[in-house]
């Protein structure tokens, strides 16, 4: 039994239409997505009183006014600590952190 000879076929209109839709989608969505995903260096949050506050996305320095949180910041990210709200004894810490300024806060009362 002889094999049928191949005939020249052109792409179906349905396949061409699908390709065109996908191609246009890619041309439109990818640039819009790139614009929308562009990172802003700041972030807006709402404080307790409902006011919008703009803060940087990357926090480089931290100052706590609550002694337990100050200790946690020292333990997790000592290079970000700006100062102490109490005078640390400095026995078990490097001098660069023990000598940070004491700025007061929740643990100290001055009269």
Residue 51 has pLDDT above 90, yes or no: yes
Confidence band (pLDDT; 50, 70, 90) for 37?
A: low
| Percent share of the chain, pLDDT over 70 | 70
Write down the pLDDT at residue 12: 65
CA-to-CA distance for 95 and 30, rounded, in angstroms? Answer: 52
CA-to-CA distance for 40 and 31, rounded, in angstroms? Answer: 17
The enclosing H or E element of 105 equals none
Q: Among 16-20, 50-54, 56-60, 77-81, where is mean pLDDT lowest?
A: 16-20
29 by Cβ neighbours in 10 Å (0-12 / 13-18 / 19+) ranks as exposed
Contact 97, 75 (CB under 8 A): no
pLDDT digits (tens, 9 = 90+) for 54-75: 999 888 898 888 888 898 999 9
Write down the pLDDT at residue 100: 92
Write down the pLDDT at residue 35: 62
């Amino acid at each position: 039994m002889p094999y049928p000879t191949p005939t020249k076929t052109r792409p179906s209109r349905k396949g061409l239409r699908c390709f065109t839709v996908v191609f246009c989608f890619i041309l439109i969505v990818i640039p819009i997505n790139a614009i929308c995903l562009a990172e802003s260096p700041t972030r807006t949050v709402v404080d307790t009183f409902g006011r919008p506050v703009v803060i940087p996305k990357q926090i480089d320095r931290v100052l706590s006014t609550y002694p337990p949180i100050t200790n946690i910041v020292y333990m997790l990210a000592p290079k970000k600590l700006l100062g102490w709200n109490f005078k640390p004894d400095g026995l078990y810490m490097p001098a660069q952190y023990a000598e940070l300024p004491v700025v007061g806060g929740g643990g100290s009362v001055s009269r």
